[in-house]
Amino acid sequence: MERFSGTSASESIRRAIAAGSDAFGHDWTPDRVAIASGRIELIGNHIDYNGGPVLAAAIDRFVAVAASNDAGRAPTLRATAADVPGEGIASLAASDLAGWRNDANAPRTFDYARGLLAAMREQEPAVSPRLPASIAIAGDVPIGLGLSSSAALCVALALALTSGIDSDRQLVLLAQEAEHRAGTPCGTMDQSASVAGGVIAFDGAALEVERLSPALGDLVFVVADSGVDRSLGASSYPTRVAESREALGLARAALGLPIPHLAAITPEQLGALDRMDALTPLLLRRVRHVVEETGRVAVAREALGRADWQRFGTLMTASGRSSATLYEISHPDVESLVAEALAVEGVLGARMMGGGEGGTALILLHAGAVPSLEATLRAGYYRERDMENRNGLLTRCAFAPGATLIERSAGVGLA
């Protein structure tokens, strides 16, 4: 737990254990606890599934899954969640979940556990489920704000409920498959950031991760809630994925080249596609965003290496504008929030973040400017929407360690 000193991870663990005790009896004691973080996407919006690079970071908001072996019980999973008490206790039999996929519109908390058990049966036969077991879930990754709460949950579930995972990549892919089966379309960047921890450069083509160690100095990242609810499964994310696939097929045919993914298209090839009218205006906008965003990430990584955060903030802002105008994945309210934040002295950059169509804005600023930012937004954007008195509108983020499994057998107290 030393890795998480000064974070909210211990509180999430405490609440998970308390929820388990309430649900399963006061003598219930976990023998392992998995911790996984949410993430912020620094730059590289919607290009991971197009084979492009992304800079992202694990943040100090966590999901904790406390688990206990249920000796003498049938090979089932009993689950409860501190933050959704109305769900009660779910009892899931792995044998009943062969081929399971969520047919509902929006996944519920225990659907991710169902997805994990189904994925283990069919996708990862070398990975063994730790059943029978009972688990309790708690966390403070806000839901619906583009901070990858579902990825954090699935990574934590996979760590707590499996044996035989021998690599970070295997863990990432298993967590992704659990999300897919639960009904959340996603790539692997979110899970990769949660597993790796800190700041990462994510290669969307090779699905590889490089850990980075930038020095922020007196700067911080703040996530500002727009008040517009969004969910990945209900957003235009699936539509953009389909558009990207269509554009890639047309680009390959027009250029006569085996282009592996949209992010591999060069600016010169993009110009040729434009002159040839090979793409509809809509698809051309989508491809232009991917190509230009890929270039921005490369420049942003160089800036990050030099600790040139002024340049990085400018690139963040340009990324957000492209996401709004070319990829058309933002929301008018989010863009208003971004514009108001950019007018605050000490703000270096701001952009919409995540799947889009609501959620949050990511803001890079000097730490001393945070009070001014909050006062400005509460007096302006939030007051206009009758939100000025709400708590938790701004979330100040620090970089966090990677996902961890703590086991009682290792001599670590879990209570």
Known catalytic residues are 190
Contacts of 68 (CB under 8 A, 6+ apart): 20, 24, 28, 29, 30, 31, 133, 134, 135
Give dist(CA 371, CA 227) in Å, integer: 20
* Partners of 40 in beta bridges: 57
Give dist(CA 403, CA 36) in Å, integer: 4
Residue 205: phi and psi, rounded to 5, are -80, -50
Contact between residue 261 and residue 252 where contact means Cβ atoms under 8 Å apart: no
Contact between residue 414 and residue 17 where contact means Cβ atoms under 8 Å apart: yes
The amino acid at residue 360 is: T
- Please state whether beta strands 360-366 and 219-225 pair in parallel, antiparallel, or not at all (unpaired): antiparallel
Burial of 355: CB neighbours in 10 Å, binned 0-12, 13-18, 19+: buried
Which of 134-143 are b and which e, b meaning 16 or more Cβ less than 10 Å from the residue's Cβ?
A: bbbbbbbbbe
Contact between residue 66 and residue 81 where contact means Cβ atoms under 8 Å apart: no
Torsional class of 40: left (φ above 0), alpha (ψ -120 to 50), beta (otherwise):
beta
Kind plus residue range of the DSSP H or E element containing 30: none
